[in-house]
Amino acid sequence: MHDPMADTVPGTDVVVTIRSYRPSDHQACRALWAEMTEQHRRLYSDESIGGADPGAAFEEYLTRLDLSGMWVADHAEDGVVGFVGLVLADQAGEGEVEPVVVSERHRHHGVGRALLGKVADEARRRQLSHLSVSPVSRNLDAVRCLHSVGYTVLSSVTLSLDVRDRSHDWQEGLELHGLQFRY
């Protein structure tokens, strides 16, 4: 019998089951959070991101009052290889995907798309009107993945001012409305 929650990833033989987060998934999801933090450290050449324990922020994430749901990608052989969360926004009818995390070994095989499909289905089921996501600006793989599944509306922009006296390796080359930005 086919499990309606199991998604075969197109173009590969990878099968993941997208299911609700369980307390027994804690260790695997915390490790995925740490892996995501390490990736951000590499993207920004900044070892201070995430502090001394790159997985610690996962504990805070789980206590968010606006966290409405969390789903994992469960691989038959490798266990939990990704997760996604749905955060309800302050405004009625709006939700935010926060975060989408897939283990490096399982990226580029459709696991992220399957997780994003699940959270979009859940947003529709809850009759939300908008679903947004905010990848870090240097994570081009994430931006491309999100664009490919329909996140094509630029609904907000977050600008930052680096107020610490430090030499950060900002990259040039983003333009929006004729203005140049670093990322």
CA dihedral defined by 157, 161, 35, 68, rounded to 10 degrees? -50
Q: What is the pLDDT of residue 97?
A: 96
CA-CA distance, 130 to 112, in Å (whole number)? 19
Averages of pLDDT over runs of 10 residues in the chain (183 residues) are: 45 76 98 96 90 94 96 95 93 90 94 95 94 90 91 87 73 85 84
Which residue segment(s) compose the domain that 175 sits in? 6-152+159-182
pTM equals: 0.85
Q: What CATH number corresponds to the domain at position 47? A: 3.40.630.30
Q: Kindly state whether residue 28 falls inside one of the protein's structural domains.
A: yes
Per-residue pLDDT at 1:
37
53 belongs to a structural domain: yes
Q: Which whole-number Å values give the CA distances from 98 to 50, 72, 159, 163, in the listed order?
A: 16, 13, 19, 26
pLDDT of residue 179: 87
Indicate the number of domains in the chain.
Answer: 1
